[in-house]
Structure 1
């Protein structure tokens, strides 16, 4: 047996491309050359030269394509359904028992049935070999494109005009578990196949299945005590890699549109139906397949549900931190508008918002959408938002979106006075420790807050009052009059470390920090503060600042604005004589600023 295999292997290696093409032509011409089929299959391998793989693939695809409708559902399927006489009349149990042996013998001895079963087993092997070539790191990108195209043709044709989800699921499974970068496959799928509605539909179904498999493996890994830490780390790394690939697939699928155009309903499985069929036969065929065939309209209605299930299942996985941040950065645009019920994300978003730091900043955008558009109630929302106001947020990557949302969250005129005062005072204190770009946006935010909430305008210039009673010093959110203050200059009653917004003491403080910005070392900051010296109580004479004009500022933008700024007057200094020292002797009596020359040197 070993000698026969070695002989075949040697013979295979000695084949030329011309001889391989001749084998394919002989196979297509007559059944007499059917033994060429296994030989051609042996060339479908990642180790074979690409041109040999392509030649064998083309011959085998041409051979199997006309036979797909005749192949049994599997290589081991029963062939009793192929006999039309079996459906003539009901048979009694006694007749069936008497004919069991005879019928089995007839089926086993039917050469046509045996031949088709053999063809089916070879076709299954062909698909398996194509998947091996597809996910091999030895294959070239051009070869992967050809192989994927062949597999997708089988997805279209194998199931009698219906989408063959089993083969497509195996394709996606090979992509997810391949050592090759997912982008190589996704570029092909996105450019050629994701435009078809049924491909997108079954992609969501497959992704949900993969996620459930990962969930099950994660639960079993948690319950099992790993004796070898290296095995545990390898399992964790493998799971993280699979999660990243699933996310890449989900993020590349075009989301379902609210008002899909006619072109968006085009189906891959129905794009190659034979136009030679008679209308009556075609109508009868479609009627027979109504129970199994999904129409484009039906798929479009179900698409949002499959989209929702796939994403909600994915978000339950233990996402790596980098994937977690990517999801939060785009979920408000790519996921929430297309969910069947966006409120299903409330647990994921509130949990993310409670984490703190950058993750909370990135979760704020989606949480704000759920609160304003979908009726989500979040009792501690403003306390959490207040806790996010730290100096680092003004240099974060997503600071522009966060600052715009901060302004939007504080826009309501129904906010209590103590809450508006606490945010105003916290921002004012931060203006002393953030970069100049942060001071500019903070000034704009405070300006908007003072204009929207007249009850806190006393913070701009709060004067101390003598003999004030401590009982009158407590904050009263319903009293719009100016609170009294002790005549203790240099004392700020605002507690920046307090987390309870009712106890911060902001209503008893003043915006002295903004006054210090008049003398800021950065000229644009001092000029901007001076330009806002207007009476904010007269709303008709003022307009709100657009935070988006300042939210993405940096040293580079400030410097760019300064060099483009036209200066009318430039201060100049003239000296009657060229100075010989940095300071005048008269400025520092008793000090000398001349450098004595060493002896021997000129």
Structure 2
């Protein structure tokens, strides 16, 4: 039966002209006798109708419903079978048709077949009903249908969402009810449970769940936070816009006080402002409990410390989410460090294993990570406290020193800057700078020996002086800094940077030769100046330098390798070139000349 009716409607739409629709609209607006034109016009408000037909029907229906919204029967009222009041029956029927109209508008707004111009008119019409459809109060039911359809749409709705953000998110009540709708949708998704991975049906459910989470984040991340004081009385509200344009300032205040006194159910701007942080917090906390896809997870962690934490009612509520993210390791831990650091330093969060996890993040891959600049700045801030134990400071210094051997030149510059600041802040670890033999190890304090004895050292019970020369007792693979035995080692890796092939690194190492124990004579190095370095930045700085003396080298024959074989014992550098037309005679001659030549002229003089 329904298919037969739809076919009849399609035939009717084909035979209907735009002028006929205008006539139907004028008749509907002019007399109640033409009320039967309402279902006809309503059938044209769909994405399958031509845009001009849908637009003409929409304008006529909007003009018809706007003045009668306040007279419609409430949605909660039920019509009994014994009711004989024709006016009540008429108003109840109009209420049902109004709901059908709103449902059609919502469907058109999220349909991929709709025209952008039509979408803009549809959104404005819906928001007009949101403002007027509840007796002057914000109609949250209609607005929730719109947000629900945007999130559950299977096609992109970026245009409608951008319109909603640009035109209506400036109103505090729109933001307020957006948070409420997002929280409801997230909570419903959480209560349904998350599907497994067995079967095609479940895999399809997983894809749909991830799609919903993407859409929820897309809406939630666009909600502007409440700016300024919550006691401000001039927050603009959509439900009150356009009503007081012709009133003076005193009249506006008097009307606002009167409405608040007479109707306690009406939410004022100040009331919404006080509740906004709570709703904003609930929306984010409920969303973060969902199984976030990896791309959404990273986007959340990147913006959490700037766009979310400062505007929450109680930021400590994020501690579970952030500590779990920090325990994952890798890039996720690096991205979670910014928000976790704010909770630790500004909101009194206690995290006993914080430095152990931070120590575990120091790997060669971190020097090529996308967010390495922010990580190095936070690492320097985390190690700034003068109350940091000596074994922790020495472990971080030694770990960074060991990494300097395997990282790019830009990483070497950052490491030297970090170690410089560590040595300046913690004079107790200056013994790591110059330790030629084991005699210096005898001067360890009793506290250092206790730390070393508790570090599961296999040589516990042996005398320190029995240790062999040239042995580094630092355990690079140990994840616990307390057990790494860093206080028994030295920063010998930094000495190798004196002869680094990159001139900026070898020059920068000279900063560690100053007496860093005298704090008045030295200053801390800004990590921000080196944290975002790369090969290109170093090369750009070098070509811009003004060099007064240029070193020259002369060769009896063209060299075939960058380094001489004597620089790397056990390594060979062979030139696998193609033979020339003369049968390779010239190549053999060149090889003999290279063997006889003095490679020492190509070597850089060492200090």
Q: TM-score range by the shorter chain?
A: 0.7 to 0.9
1:272, distance to aligned residue in structure 2 (A): 2.9
Do the aligned partners of residues 68 and 558 (structure 1) sit closer, same or farther apart at CA in structure 2, a change above 3 Å counting?
same
Query: Which deviations, in whole Å up to 9, do the C-alpha atoms of 1:195-238 show, x marking residues without a partner?
Result: 0010000011101100111101225x46xxx8x71100110111
State whether residues 196 and 264 of structure 1, in contact with CA within 8 Å, keep that contact through their aligned partners in structure 2.
Answer: no
Cα distance in 1 between the residues matched to 2:543 and 2:6: 79
Do the aligned partners of residues 6 and 203 (structure 1) sit closer, same or farther apart at CA in structure 2, a change above 3 Å counting?
closer
Cα distance in 2 between the residues matched to 1:535 and 1:274: 71
Q: Any residues of structure 2 matched to 1:108-257 within 5 Å, and which?
A: 108-218=83-193, 221=195, 229-257=199-227
State whether residues 416 and 477 of structure 1, in contact with CA within 8 Å, keep that contact through their aligned partners in structure 2.
Answer: no
Q: TM-score, normalised by structure 2?
A: 0.85
Do the aligned partners of residues 263 and 246 (structure 1) sit closer, same or farther apart at CA in structure 2, a change above 3 Å counting?
farther
1:277, distance to aligned residue in structure 2 (A): 11
1:291, distance to aligned residue in structure 2 (A): 2.2
Cα distance in 2 between the residues matched to 1:214 and 1:176: 12
1:141, distance to aligned residue in structure 2 (A): 2.2
Query: Which deviations, in whole Å up to 9, do the C-alpha atoms of 1:344-366 show, x marking residues without a partner?
Result: 11111111111111111111111
Cα distance in 2 between the residues matched to 1:284 and 1:33: 43
Cα distance in 2 between the residues matched to 1:3 and 1:271: 45
1:582, distance to aligned residue in structure 2 (A): 5.8
Report whether the alignment pairs 1:597 with 2:567.
no
Which residue of the other structure, out of 554, 572, 595, is the alignment partner of 2:534?
554
Report whether the alignment pairs 1:49 with 2:50.
yes
Which residue of the other structure, out of 420, 431, 449, is the alignment partner of 2:404?
431
SS in 1 for 2:435: coil
Cα distance in 2 between the residues matched to 1:284 and 1:452: 59
Do the aligned partners of residues 491 and 174 (structure 1) sit closer, same or farther apart at CA in structure 2, a change above 3 Å counting?
same
Cα distance in 2 between the residues matched to 1:564 and 1:422: 37
Q: Any residues of structure 2 matched to 1:441-460 within 5 Å, and which?
A: 441-460=414-433
Which residue of the other structure, out of 365, 368, 374, is the alignment partner of 1:395?
368
State whether residues 260 and 266 of structure 2, in contact with CA within 8 Å, keep that contact through their aligned partners in structure 1.
Answer: no
Cα distance in 2 between the residues matched to 1:374 and 1:439: 34
Cα distance in 2 between the residues matched to 1:255 and 1:287: 25
Instruction: Give 1:87's aligned residue.
Output: none
Query: Which deviations, in whole Å up to 9, do the C-alpha atoms of 1:22-80 show, x marking residues without a partner?
Result: 2111211111221211111111111111111111100100011000000111396359x
Cα distance in 1 between the residues matched to 2:557 and 2:420: 49
Q: TM-score, normalised by structure 1?
A: 0.85
Report whether the alignment pairs 1:545 with 2:530.
no
Query: Which deviations, in whole Å up to 9, do the C-alpha atoms of 1:308-342 show, x marking residues without a partner?
Result: 11111111111111111111111111111111111
SS in 2 for 1:490: coil
Instruction: Give 1:66's aligned residue.
Output: 67
Instruction: Give 2:37's aligned residue.
Output: 36
Query: Which deviations, in whole Å up to 9, do the C-alpha atoms of 1:289-310 show, x marking residues without a partner?
Result: 5221000000000001101111
Which residue of the other structure, out of 223, 234, 243, is the alignment partner of 1:273?
243
Cα distance in 1 between the residues matched to 2:558 and 2:520: 57
Gaps of 5+ in 2: 453-462, 566-576, 585-607
1:486, distance to aligned residue in structure 2 (A): 5.4
Instruction: Give 2:321's aligned residue.
Output: 348
Instruction: Give 2:436's aligned residue.
Output: 463
Mean Cα deviation higher: 412-421 or 108-117: 108-117
Report whether the alignment pairs 1:303 with 2:276.
yes
1:501, distance to aligned residue in structure 2 (A): 2.0
State whether residues 410 and 533 of structure 2, in contact with CA within 8 Å, keep that contact through their aligned partners in structure 1.
Answer: yes
The size of the alignment, in residue pairs, is 555
SS in 1 for 2:78: coil
1:384, distance to aligned residue in structure 2 (A): 0.7
Instruction: Give 1:83's aligned residue.
Output: none
State whether residues 131 and 137 of structure 2, in contact with CA within 8 Å, keep that contact through their aligned partners in structure 1.
Answer: yes
State whether residues 182 and 248 of structure 1, in contact with CA within 8 Å, keep that contact through their aligned partners in structure 2.
Answer: no
Cα distance in 1 between the residues matched to 2:258 and 2:485: 78
1:140, distance to aligned residue in structure 2 (A): 2.1
Do the aligned partners of residues 532 and 55 (structure 1) sit closer, same or farther apart at CA in structure 2, a change above 3 Å counting?
same
SS in 2 for 1:476: helix
Which residue of the other structure, out of 471, 492, 496, is the alignment partner of 1:491?
471
State whether residues 418 and 477 of structure 1, in contact with CA within 8 Å, keep that contact through their aligned partners in structure 2.
Answer: no
Report whether the alignment pairs 1:313 with 2:293.
no
Query: Which deviations, in whole Å up to 9, do the C-alpha atoms of 1:142-165 show, x marking residues without a partner?
Result: 221111111110000010110000
SS in 2 for 1:218: coil
